[in-house]
Amino acid sequence: MPLPVLAMMLCTFCIGTAESVIAGILPGIAQDVGVSLTAVGLLITVYAVAVVLVGPLVTAATATLRRTTLLPAMMGVFVMGNTLAASAPGFGWLLVGRVVSAVVHSTLIAAFVAAARDTAPPDRRAAYGAKVTLGIGLSSVAGVPAGTLIGNAFGWRATFWALAAVSLAATALLTRFPAPESPRGTAKPAGLRRTAAPDTGPGRRRFVLPGPMLLVAAVITLGTAGVFALYTYASPYLTQSAGFGSGSVTVLLLLYGLGGIVGNTAGGRAADRFPSAAVPATLGAAAAGLLLLALPPGNRWAVAGVFCLLGTAYFATIPALNNAIVSAAGPSSSTMALTVNNSAFCVGIALGSWLGGLLLARGNTLPTVAAAGAASTAAALLLALLHTRLRKAPPGPALPATGASHDTDTGTGTGTGTGTGTTVTGSGVPR
């Protein structure tokens, strides 16, 4: 692994740990700062909202900065956020620290994956991107358990101090082995199109996302929601439905994470070799796993095997979907596309957790939750097949130039709008 890619992977390991470790230290925070567990849960909700809403804006605002300046500076902001959380005198400042960390989350991961893809040979871009997102998989296997262990032994503040220290070390390594600059220069990304809108009057413009990118984002959201509808309630599923003891749950979740590491690596290679088939294949495997888990449990070890394979299938979708959304956006907008990609994953996680909780609140069983998850992931599969079919369709005839949309950047070809203000990428999309 090239040293710049290793440095970026360690940074994503820290980011992934910071995002999820809060769940393991919630009781300690609630007891120490004197608020309810429900209130402390806002630390997770507000973080996710900041990632989804602010991430694309931060990416657009920093699009012209060089990576050698941008990435260490944003990691510095991330370190500052964890330092604020560690030293917070009360719950309000702890919340501020979480938001500071969250505002750079999407941009950092997107820029790291884009830089890794630029480092790679042309036939290994998805695999190199997967090396960076491997850090997120490792955070679930090692980072979150270690952070929880530190918090339980030395207090929740120690978890944030440890995160700040490790993140600072990763930033130093990133400075020593900087990410490569984009070969396409620092032109404003094409992920957001500046488009003439009939209802805004002469000379006014509005920004819209290209249609193919939105379609892939919908695939990501539905596919992730399907998996997390069940994964959010993995512990009660494994104990109540599959019959495992509570002590076995930790081992099974660890195996799920290890399967995810395998899937992340294999998914990256598959996305490079079979770009059109990788997304449908990985989503189909995830939907099949959820459907099997929705069946009446038989042999519990068979259930355990399918559960671990679900982790492999889900993490294999990540590099495949990264590749798909970059292709849908066009070659000069990879960072913005990957930011939207990360936001779509976060929305999917929240949607899946909400769906699973809603079904259980209405008296449904955990296998029913798995079935609903399978239906959501199957819907994502159908949208992915539609996206593949649309990409293969020949472009339609060009419309008159009057009122047509135009890009703010150069280097990408575009098709024509439909008259509604939505811009669709055409011949500039790599096949």
Instruction: Read off the tokens for 411.
Output: 């280097």
pLDDT-based confidence at residue 79 (cuts at 50, 70, 90):
very high
pLDDT top residue among 421 and 19: 19
For residue 196, pLDDT over 80 is answered with no
- From residue 427, alpha-carbon distances to 268, 327, 398, 410, 418 in Å are 25, 11, 12, 14, 16
Position 210 confidence tier, pLDDT thresholds 50, 70, 90? low
Q: How high is the pLDDT of residue 393?
A: 56
Q: Between residues 394 and 335, which one has the greater pLDDT? A: 335
pLDDT range class, residue 406, cuts 50, 70, 90? very low
Give me the count of residues in the chain. Answer: 431
Q: CA-to-CA distance for 197 and 347, rounded, in angstroms? A: 28
The CA distance from 237 to 140, in Å, is 19
Residue from 387, 411, 424 nearest 186 by CA: 411
pLDDT per residue as tens digits for the range 333-391 = 677 888 888 888 888 888 988 898 889 888 899 899 999 999 999 999 999 998 888 76
Higher pLDDT, 188 or 389: 389
Q: Which pLDDT score is estimated for 110?
A: 87
Helix (H, G, I), strand (E, B) or coil at 403: coil
Structure token pair of residue 74: 């944003």
Q: Taking residues 145-168, what's their average pLDDT?
A: 92
What share of the chain has pLDDT > 90, as a percent? 31
Averaged over 292-299, what is the pLDDT?
Answer: 85
The stretch 102-116 carries a mean pLDDT of 89
* pLDDT above 80 for 255: yes
Q: How many other CB atoms are there within 10 angstroms of residue 210's CB atom?
A: 28
Instruction: Kindly indicate the confidence band of residue 323, based on its pLDDT and cuts at 50, 70 and 90.
Output: confident
Instruction: For the chain, state the CA radius of gyration.
Output: 22
* pTM confidence score: 0.73
Identify which of 104, 107, 118 has the alpha carbon closest to the alpha carbon of residue 180.
118
Q: Is residue 219 scored above 90 in pLDDT?
A: yes
